[in-house]
Structure formats: structure tokens, C-alpha cells
Structure 1
Amino acid sequence: MKRKPILVASAFATSAVLIASGCSAGGQNAGTDPNRAQAEVAKVSIDKDGSLSKGPAPEIKDSRKGGNVNILWRQDIVHYDPAVSQSSPDNTVLEMISRRLTMYRIEGDKTTLVGDLATNAGESTDGGKTWKYTLKDGIKYSDGTPIVAKDVKYAVARSFSSLYARGFPYIQTWLADSEDFGKVYPGPYEGGELSNDKVEVQGDKTIIFKFSQPRPDFPFAAALGATAPVPQAKDTKEAMDQAPITSGPYKIASHEVDKSLKLVRNENWDPATDSIRHQYVDSFTFQFGPQVGEVTDRIAASAGDDKNTASIYQAVAPERFEQVMNDPKLKQQVIDKPTTQVDLYAINNTRVTDLNVRKALLVAFPKEQARLQKGGPYQGDFATTLGSPSTLGWKKYDLPGVTDVDPKGDPEKAKKILTDAGKLGYSISLGYNQTPTGEKEGLAIAEGLTKAGFKVEKIPMQAKTFNDTRDKVSNNLDFYWSAWAADWPTGVTVYPELFDGRKIADGRPNNTHFNNADVNAEIDRILKITDSAEQGAEFNKLDKKIMESVPAVPYVYPRRQLMFGTNVGGASFDIHTVMNLTNLFLKS
């Protein structure tokens, strides 16, 4: 594969922003090069003048309209309310039915943040303390009523409510100048209207966000669910989590929880207002429940209606990688790409307080054996850092005893660490995802830790509720899978979210419960740096500092392989490294 890093301008700097991009299938050599995960990057720019925000979206080659595409996914969408959702596949689906102020337009290896509901990606004349957005003409909800600026303000206001604690917190935190933003403003149900000194609406078209300090990354945050518009009169609160207000090219026709979802064309969506999405097929039919083995077999065979079927997030079944990736015909039904994610095994630092025990977990962890259960090298390269190579400023570093650990694990060395610390036989509760692959991966990890002198209790966890259960402060677990992809390609959405001890709370992503006063202070210092290159370099140093305390075990920098039926065209990845559903069409 060619390796061609491309420099990218961030919002207010000329420094490089790296975001992992795609390549053709062929991961058989993966896992041999520790820097491979940064090998391919795409250009990420910001549409300031609005030229790329104008619809319609560029046509996909050979596309045609009509028909139904089937989507197979092991579980239902957990949260349908954009204010709550954080999961990548869930957000991909929600972005088909709910628009935001900004969104990402992908053309080949070029990614541009553009205006979605807005005419451009945002305007600021004071270095990022104030951001102004003007809504496009002709944007409507699926019921035909126009989308107006006060609906966006109300959506942001409701995101402050404790009902939506799992949602992305950036806009609320920045407006409130507090991590505990609900105490500053509890949302519209208890606190009335969000004040104009925070968000001001001028007529039906203009909305202005006001911050006490520069927020140059705000255009990226504006692409998250908090800006998906909600008319106050139609806010059904918790009921929105199953019946959201829709404004994208598709709307919900039917939904049987945990079984199926039917999306059909939204006749009130105007392609002239949307430079990102298409409306090629008449409908999408989601079948929830099939595990990755069944998905692989059905799409590979493409018999009957399965020829019109695609996977959204699941990879090729681990036991089928060699067959699929080395079969020229099947390989044409696969897209393959490094993600922007890092997979970790989080250590619950409030329960596992002894650094020696955490080091022993790191040394004993059988990365190679565990990865083999998920597809071996096709799964991605072994990780040694907490942040992804796709974020600005990432650089591989050396930390003796931490980054030079044998990927197979070193049970004898780990056992000595435990023995010297008087902790041999330490009990570990291992939470794992109760899927066929998760069972095998959990068993491999348990065997590796047992060899090192740990007593391991395996705790099966349901796939649909895994994240919600893990992200409770009192989860009664010691060791569990976790993963994080930057919400945009800088460390701003990584280290402050995952390792700021002041953010330990139910539903928040600091699920290691790591709390170090020096690290907290360093995060505050780095966030005040407005030069993107300097800030990225400092975040990389912080990564190394955090790893000295071993709050988690870096596992892999994942790749993702998605399959599609023989009659499905337009298969590509979206910004979440999930199937870009609105690009799909049927060939005949």
C-alpha cells in the first residue's frame, strides 16, 4: 500500500490534522509495522465560504434510484434521540434521519466539514469566542414544517438536561464554563429558556453561540447531535429516544424494538439543500440480531434478497477472514479501512488501586491471542498508546516496561511483579461482550491472566447494554473492553474525556475512573493552547505521562472490514468508519 501523509489545515492553524483513511482490502501484512496505522491519511478542511455546503451532493458513479437495501446488524440502535447517542453505528443511522448545523462531506480521500443545516461551517471574527450560523432556505422536517433557528437553540438547551447525560458534552460544557453544566443551567424543563448571552437567535435564520474563551473547534462540535433541531412544541422528552424528530433524506416508517427498523424516503427533504447525503434507494430495512458469522455467510452467498444486503459495522467473521480476503470474487464485496479508534482494556482504577497490579495486567495481557479471536492481523495493529495515530500530534514513544511488552504477554514476568508486591492470586472480574466472538476473546484473556497468577472471574455482559453498564461508576468490574474514537481529529476530544478525573460520572467515558491531580492540571493547561500543532505535541507527551500510571491496557488500532451484496453499489465509509448508507444504491 502507498503511504502518503497529507497536510491538513485546522480551523485556525496551518498545522496538520491527520485522520485515518481507506485503502483496498488486503490486510494480510497487518500487524508487522507499528507505524502502519498512520500510513494513510485524508485531507480534512473546513468550508468557510459555503461553496461546498450547497447541494446537491456529488453523484456516485453508476448510481441509480429505487429499491430496498437490507442492513444486518447484531443489535438495535441503542438511542434514537441525537442528544443522547454516542455510538458510531447509531450516529450513522441518525445522520440519515436528523440533520445538524454542520457535517462531513467525503469525496475520495478528501474530507471537508461543511454546513448541513447552515450555509457554511460557521463564521467567527473574534478568534473563536463567537460563532454565527445562517440556516439555509428550504430546510424542513419530515412533516413539512420549516426548520428555524429557535429549534436549534432549543435542541442545544435540552441537551443540558440530566435526561441526556450520555450525550456529547462539549457544547454544554463550553457554554456553561463548567463540567457540571447542569448546575449552571439545568435545561428548559427546569431552567426556562437558555439565555441570549449564551445562544442568541435573530429571526428564523440566524443563531449565534457565545463563549467566554476561544473555541476554535466549535464547528466540529456543531456536527454532533446536540444541534439536531427540535421544535419545543414537539419535544416528547424520553419518548424521543424511540421516535425522534426527523429532517434527513429518510424517516422512520416502522420500528419493532430489537427486531427491525424500516426507513423510507422523506418527501420533504430537498437535495438542493444537502451537499452530503443522497436518496438513492426507496427504503432501508434493518434486521437486528444476526451475529457476524451469519452476516458474513449471507452476504458472501448473496442468494435471493441477500444480494441487496450490506453490513453496517460488523467485520468479516474472524474464522472467515482468510477465505474472504484471499478470494478475488469475495474480496470485491469488501471495503477495508483503518479506523480512528483505539481499543483498550480499561482497568477500574477505583477498584484496582495498586500500580503493581495494573502493571502486571499490562504485562500479562495476551494481545496476540485475543486479537486472533477477532481476525488476527486483519483486526488492526497492536496499540501501545492511549490515543489514536489519526489524531493531531500523535507520535510513537518508548516507555520501558510499558510499550515494549511482548504482544503474546509475559506471564512469568507478570507473576514476578505480583509476587514481589505480595499480590499473587489477586482476583480480577473480567467483563466481556456476550457475543460469539466476545466469548472467545474473553476466554483467551482469562487464560492469559490466569497463567500470570491472577484469579479471574468472567462476567458476561449483553451486547446492547454493554456500554451503558460499563459506564456506570459502580459497575462492579475490574477489567473490561473500552474503545474511543476522537469526535474530531484532535486530542481535545480524547484525553479530557477519557482521563480527566473530574469527569468520573455515570454515562461519561472516563470508565477507567482514572483521577490524577497533575494530569487534570495538565489537561487544563493544554486546552488553553490555541495553536493546533503545539497542542497536539503536548497531548502526545500527556499520553506518555498517563501511561506511566497504567490506567488501561492499549490493545489495537482497529481496522474495519464491511461486506455488501453483489447487487449493492456505492459502498464506502463515512466519517465514523461505518458504512455510508446514503451512498448505497442497487445496481439493478
Structure 2
Amino acid sequence: MKRKRILGAAAAATSAVLIASGCSAGGQNAATDPNRAQAEVAKVSIDKDGTLSKGPASQVQGSRQGGNINILWRQDIAHYDPAVAQSSPDTTVLELISRRLTMYRIEGDKTNLVGDLATNAGETTDGGKTWKYTLKDGIKYSDGTPILAKDIKYAVARSFSSLYARGFQYIQTWLADSAEPSKVYAGPYEGGELSNDKVEVPDDKTIIFKFSQPRPDFPFAAALGATAPVPQAKDTKEALDQTPITSGPYKIASHEVDKSLKLVRNENWDPNTDPIRHQFVDSFTFQFGPLPAEITDRLSASAGDDRNSAGISQTVAPERFEQVMNDPKLKQQIIDKPSNQVDLFVINNSRVTDLNVRKALLTAFPKEQARLQKGGPYQGDFATTLTSPSTLGWQKYDLPGVSDVDPKGDPEKARKILTDAGKLGYSISLGYNQTPTSEKEALAVADGLEKAGFKVEKIAMQSKTYLDARDKVDNNLDFYWSGWMADWPTAVSVLPEQFDGRKIGDGRANNSHFNSPEINAEIDRIMKITDSVQQGAEFNKLDKKIMESVPAVPYVYPRRQVQFGTNVGGASFDSHVMMNLANLYLKS
């Protein structure tokens, strides 16, 4: 993606954005220091000359070929179609089997956005209104057929369909100039071909995106699932969610829903075209179902084939943190890092319309007691903002009644807020993910709210379908957990997605249903700022402004501890702060 890359001023500013690095400012004991800084920062640069976009990927010290690695995870992937998948674990797995226009190349503490299918991270001559990409030579699907530029255009076109509204919608909303892109263009099934004034494919290797206003963050959005290529003749619509088209180093050999997934080598993947991924092991076998306590115990013991196993996301069970993190031997089997996520407890603003009730929820919320159920300080620092400290422009702000709330909760103060508003005894439906940890967390939250004078109904929701059910507009819930990780290191992928009232809809990220014309207008103003540093400062002010309306309760800036077996090498985090599967190998 980058033979001649010509950057306008807007895109140049984006090349120095910030992301959380692999260690915390507090040093080795930072996870237990409640006053530590959330994270150090490292630059994420856009590859400017295409050098870093060339394959093969950098060698991993000690790596060797062969064998099978077991991945232990509590649930099956919710969506296998890259156009639909949005959760970090799902995205991490899919990036192993589906390539995109761009991707992150991580080498130590250096992160570069590089060309994946393309020769560079994109070329613009007009400050980011037009982005041109040239595909690499020799890139193929797992069936051996070549990947063509028209396949990427078709993939983007199909992602406009309302069938895929749950997926990332940045490219679609920018091309359509609408928060509801499917109403502007319904996708190829109903709306015909995506017009050339939006996406042009002059030949088999060139694709050009055209926007009505500068989109300096487009190279980051191009790393998401909408640009994973799909040949039109092989589009099986909803069925693609179980049998995706593959182009990465691995392909699906078998899949038993909710039980197992087997990935094997894709013999048509060429490492010389891929600067990010490896193909060290012969296969990955995913075992779906084990809960965190079982995973922790199995990986700690590393008996038999479990020595060849690893987790993918948070795998250290809360009740095992002290045992694992204080054991020097077990700690060698852990990677530990702050994520760029913010965990919230979202308030359904379409149901809880009284600001005083929302303030009472914020005031009563027992962050400390709830976090204790998820691992205490190991889980991360208490949050007071909607954006992560790793986001460009972030600064902690003072907002009375928000940033100064006691982490234990203040039930007496919350009760007074409810009483003065005539809302004492207000009923709250608390939705939660039905896992052992979340069950305990929900009990702690409910207890804190009830002490403040709320009536709480706890509603258990199935783990695999929790996100889909929560993200429906008519979800019949008042209060529920939501974790949002920046899709790249600016607030463009956070606040406009979560709090733009024009983005309320099934499967959309605005699951608080917050809608303020004033905030919507401010988002539009800030999105037109092409200097990323200036834009970041304005987004930080917007964060504070949104919190004046209390659409959600900031909860935790999470850390992640992921464990692996004693025979697994190459453990590291990817750009989503998940286990980087492409770097794993077996030591023997």
C-alpha cells in the first residue's frame, strides 16, 4: 500500500497518533498500584514509502515450524463474516484467515499501519478526500484464485446492506455522508452497483475511495472487516457468516458450532506478500466452552496437551489472580497490558429519561465492589471518562458529581438525589452476561443500587448472544455493561460511534440511545478538523460535555492478562490487545 504514498497535511498529522504500549508507567508492580498511570504511549505511524508493507513478516526469535496449538475460549465466535464481526476476540481470529487493505505491523514497542493486501497504507493528494490503493502481486484466496480490486469494492458495497449493520460502519457512513448509510445505498442486493463516484476500480489492481470531505483516518478504517475481499460470485449472504472466504495464512477445516473450530494452513498464502502474519504451526484447534477458572487451572498445570494451549483474551480467572500473578513461574506464562478499552455501565437513555435518576445511578454505582469480582486492581484502574487514556488528546478532567464520585459508591447521596426528584424506589432492569464472573459482578452492582433506594431486577442474558441482544433498540433493559475499544488510536472511533444520536439502531454502537442535537452538531464540527492533535483536544472537551448528561457510568480502564502453556512460544499482544495468534509457535 505504499509505493508513492503522498500524504496531505491531514493524513500526516494522523501518522503520529498514540496507542497504549506494552508496559505501564508504574513498572512491574503497576497492576496493584491504584495511583499508577494507565499506560505509557507509543507512536503509531503510517508507512510512508511501502517498505514496511512488504513481506515476509519479521522473524519471531526462537520460532519453529509444525504442530498444533489449542486455543481455549469460553464461547464460539459470534460472527465469522468480517463485515459483521465487531468484538475484539472475533476480529483477532478473523484476521488470521482474512486479509484487508491495511493492517498493523507490531515490532516491539513500534506499531506501524502498513499495507496488507495493498502496497502501502494509501495515497492521497487532496488532504484525505481521495484515497488510492494498489494491490500487491501474487495475493490469492485459499482456493488459489487471485484477489482483485473489484472484490474489495464488492465487499465494501455488500457491507452497506442492513444485514451487516452490526459490523463496523465507518467507511459506509463516510461514503454515504449519512449516519444511516443503508438508507442512502442499500447494498448490491437491492441497490445495484456502488457508484464509481464513491469507489472506482479502474483495473484489477487499483481501487480508489472518494469522499465529500477529508477523511484523514481512512487508512485506519481500511484495516477493518469491510475491506476483506469477497468475490461477487461467491457471496452467499448470511451463509457467509459460517463459511467465510479466506485469504490469510489459515483456513477453516472444520467447525462444530459452540464446540470447536479447526484452522489449517492455507497453501495458497504467500508469506512474501504478508508483512504481518506467520504460518508457524500446522493448525489451531479452538476448544469452545471452558470458563476462565478451568482455563487458568489447565494452563497453570500445563499437563499433557495443555502445555500446547493458550488463551485469546482475558484468561486469568479473578479468583486465581493472586495465585498466578504472585507465582514467579506462572507469571512467565502471562502477558499483561493495559488495553485501550473503556468499560462502562450504559444507561438506556430512551427508558431512563430523568437526568436525576441517571445521576443517582452514577453516584450509587459500587465500582470497587464490582471490580473486586473481576480481579480487583488487576482488572484495571477506575474510569472517570468515556475515552481511554491511550486516546490521542485525552486528559483527565474535573466534573463535579462525575470525576469525584467515591469508587465505593455513595448510597446516601444517591438516595437524596432520588428523594429530591420524587424517584425513590425507581425500578431498574439490570442486564448481564450469564457467566460466573459477570453474575457476581451483577450481584455487587444490584446491591449497591438497592442500598441507594433503587428496585433492581436482574436479567441474565446468554453469553454468546449477549452483544446482539443488548444492541437491539428495544432491549427492555435499563442498565448494562458495555466495553468499547478504540478501533484506532483517536476518538473518531469512540465518541461519534457511541454517542451520536443519529446512530441509534439495532446493532449500532450507540447502545445508550443517547441523542442530543447539541452533541450531534459538535461531533460534526470536530469531525471536520483535519489536524489530529487539535481534533483530539476537542474530543476531550466533548467527552466532558457528554458526561454532563450522564448517558453511562464510566467503570474501568481494563488491563488484560492472557495465559499460555509452557510449550507455547511467541506470546504477544496484537493491536486489539488480544493474543497475537499469528506469532505463536511450539517450542518443541
Q: TM-score, normalised by structure 1?
A: 0.97
Q: List per-residue Cα deviations over 1:163-197 (Å, max 9, x = no partner).
A: 11101111111111112211221111111111111
The yes-or-no answer on 1:204 pairing with 2:188 is no
Q: How far apart, in 2, do the equivalents of 1:63 and 1:383 lie? A: 39
Partner of 1:276: 276
1:122 corresponds to = 122
TM-fit CA distance, 1:315: 3.1
CA–CA distance in 2 between the matches of 1:485 and 1:461? 22
Give deviations 1:194-216, integer Å, cap 9, x for gaps.
11111111221111111111111
Question: In structure 1, how many angstroms separate the alpha carbons of the residues matched to 2:563 and 2:130?
Answer: 43
Cα distance, 1:446 vs. partner? Answer: 0.5
Cα distance change of structure 1 residues 348 and 56 upon mapping to structure 2, 3 Å threshold = same
In structure 1, C-alpha distance between the alignment counterparts of 2:189 and 2:541, rounded to whole Å = 42
Alpha-carbon distance between aligned partners in 2 of 1:99 and 1:92, rounded to the nearest angstrom: 11
Deviation at residue 132 of structure 1 after TM alignment: 0.6
* RMSD value, Cα: 1.3
Aligned to 2:135: 135
1:355-406: CA deviations, max 9, x gaps? 1111111010000000000000000000000111111110000001111000
**Residues 15 and 532, structure 1, Cα contact 8 Å, conserved in 2:** no
Equivalence map 1:47-126=2 (5 Å): 47-126=47-126
Alignment size in residue pairs: 578
Once the two structures are superposed, what CA deviation does each residue of 1:424-462 show, in whole Å capped at 9, x if it has no partner? 111111011110101100001011111111111000011
Matches of 1:179 and 1:510, distance apart in 2:
11
Distance 1:55 1:22 in 2: 24
Q: Which runs of 5+ in 1 are unaligned?
A: 1-8
Whole-angstrom CA distance in 2 between matches of 1:308 and 1:237: 36
- Indicate the residue corresponding to 1:300 in structure 2: 300
Please say if residues 10 and 531 of structure 2, whose CA atoms lie closer than 8 Å, have aligned partners that are also in contact. Answer: no
Q: Secondary structure at the match of 1:42?
A: strand
Q: Which residue of 2 aligns with 1:532?
A: 532
How far apart in 2 are the matches of 1:459 and 1:50? 51
Q: 2:229 aligned with 1:239, yes or no?
A: no
Q: Which moved more, 1:181-190 or 1:548-557?
A: 181-190
Q: Does the CA contact (< 8 Å) of 2:264 and 2:283 recur in 1?
A: yes
Superposition map of 1:81-480 within 5 A: 81-480=81-480
**1:44 lines up with 2:44 in the alignment:** yes
3-state SS of 1:13 partner = helix
Deviations 1:502-542 (A, max 9, x none): 11111001011111111111111111111111111110001
Residue 464 of structure 1 aligns with an amino acid whose one-letter code is: K
What do the CA deviations read for 1:463-508 (whole angstroms, capped 9, x no partner)? 1111101100100000000011111111111111111111111100
CA distance in 2, matches of 1:94, 1:431: 28
Instruction: Please report how far the alpha carbon of residue 12 of structure 1 lies from its aligned counterpart in structure 2 after TM superposition.
Output: 2.2
Q: Distance in 2 between matches of 1:267 and 1:26?
A: 42
Answer yes or no: is the 8 Å Cα contact 2:430–2:456 preserved in 1. yes
The one-letter code of the counterpart of 2:13 is: A
Contact 1:10/1:45, CA 8 A, preserved across alignment: no
The answer for the alignment partner of 1:557 in structure 2 is 557
Q: 1 CA distance for matches of 2:111 and 2:444?
A: 38
Shift of 1:347: 0.3
Of 27, 31, 34, which aligns to 1:32? 34
Write the distance in 1 (CA, Å) between the matches of 2:453 and 2:434.
25
1: CA distance, partners of 2:376 / 2:352:
29
Residues 254-295 of structure 1, C-alpha deviations (whole Å, 9 max, x = no match)? 000000000000000000000000000000000000000000
Q: 1:225 to 1:14 in 2, by over 3 A?
A: closer
Change (3 A) 1:343 1:533: same
- State the 1:10 CA deviation: 8.0
- In structure 2, stretches of 5+ residues that fail to align are 1-8
Q: Aligned equivalents of 1:15 and 1:357: distance in 2?
A: 42
Matched with 1:5 is none
Q: Are the equivalent residues in 1 in contact too, given 2:16–2:45 (CA < 8 A)?
A: no
8 Å CA contact 1:28–1:377 kept in 2: the answer is no
Q: In 1, Cα distance between the equivalents of 2:432 and 2:28?
A: 29
Alignment check: 8 A CA contact 2:15 2:44 kept: no
Q: Secondary structure at the match of 2:481?
A: strand
How far off is 1:121 after superposition?
Answer: 0.3
Shift of 1:317: 0.6
Deviating beyond 6 angstroms after TM superposition, the runs of 4 or more aligned structure 1 residues are none
Contact 2:10 2:128 in 1 (8 A): no
Residues in 2 aligned to 1:20 and 1:365: alpha-carbon distance in whole angstroms: 27
8 Å CA contact retained: 1:10, 1:46: no
Tell whether the 8 Å contact from 1:100 to 1:228 is kept in structure 2 after alignment. Answer: yes
Equivalent residue letter for 1:242: Q
Which whole-Å CA distance do the structure 2 matches of 1:188 and 1:29 have between them?
Answer: 49
Asked if structure 1 preserves the Cα contact closer than 8 Å seen for 2:16 and 2:44, the reply is no
SS in 2 for 1:173: helix
The share of aligned pairs that are identical, in percent, is 83
Report the secondary structure of 1:272's partner residue.
Answer: helix
- Aligned partner of 1:4 in structure 2 is none
State whether residues 409 and 448 of structure 1, in contact with CA within 8 Å, keep that contact through their aligned partners in structure 2: yes
Contact 1:28 1:378 survives alignment (8 Å): no
- Report the CA distance between 1:352 and its aligned residue: 0.7
- Give the whole-Å Cα distance in 1 for the aligned partners of 2:309 and 2:247: 25
CA distance in 2, matches of 1:230, 1:205: 15
Deviation (angstroms), 1:31: 5.2
Aligned residue for 1:52, secondary structure, equals helix
Q: Hey, what's the Cα distance between the residues in 2 that align with 1:139 and 1:539? A: 39
**Paired residues of 1:385 and 1:544 also in contact (CA < 8 A):** yes
Secondary structure in 2 aligned to 1:56? coil
Distance 1:190 1:400 in 2: 50
Aligned partners of 1:206, 1:28: CA distance in 2, in Å?
47
CA distance in 1, matches of 2:424, 2:212: 52
Contact 1:10 1:16 in 2 (8 A): no
Shift of 1:333: 0.2
Tell me the secondary structure at the aligned position of residue 272 of structure 2.
helix
**Helix, strand or coil at the partner of 2:254:** strand
Cα–Cα, structure 1 residues 16 and 412, in superposed 2: closer, same or farther, change >3 Å?
Answer: farther
Q: Conserved in 1, the CA contact under 8 Å of 2:166 and 2:507?
A: yes
Query: Counterpart amino acid of 1:207?
Result: I
Are the equivalent residues in 2 in contact too, given 1:30–1:381 (CA < 8 A)?
no
Alignment partners' CA distance in 2, 1:435 and 1:27: 29
Q: Secondary structure at the match of 1:11?
A: helix
The question of whether the paired residues in 1 share the 8 Å contact of 2:31 and 2:380 is answered with: no
Trace 1:5-24 onto structure 2 (pairs within 5 A). Answer: 11-13=11-13, 16-23=16-23
How many Å separate the matches in 2 of 1:410 and 1:210?
Answer: 52
Deviations 1:91-128 (A, max 9, x none): 00000000000000000000000000000000001111
**1:26 offset after TM fit, Å?**
4.6
* TM alignment of 1:483-502, pairs within 5 A: 483-502=483-502
The one-letter code sitting in structure 1 at the alignment partner of 2:91 is N
- 8 A Cα contact 1:27 1:377, kept in partner: no
Cα pair distance change 1:159/1:29, threshold 3 Å: closer
Counterpart-to-counterpart distance in 1, 2:453 and 2:163: 43
Deviation per residue, 1:287-313 (Å, 9 max, x gap): 000000000000000000000000001
Identify the residue that residue 5 of structure 2 maps to in structure 1: none
Change (3 A) 1:10 1:58: farther
Deviates further, 476-485 or 10-19: 10-19
Give, in angstroms, the shift of residue 16 of structure 1: 4.9
Instruction: Specify whether residues 195 and 28 from structure 1 end up closer, same or farther in structure 2 by C-alpha distance, changes over 3 A only.
Output: closer
- Counterparts of 1:28 and 1:192, CA distance in 2: 54
AA in 2 matched with 1:184: V
Offset, 1:559: 0.2
Separation in structure 2 between the aligned mates of residue 474 and residue 204 of structure 1, nearest angstrom:
44
Matches of 1:148 and 1:478, distance apart in 2: 46
CA deviations on 1:311-341 (whole Å, 9 max, x unpaired) are 0012311111011001000000000000010
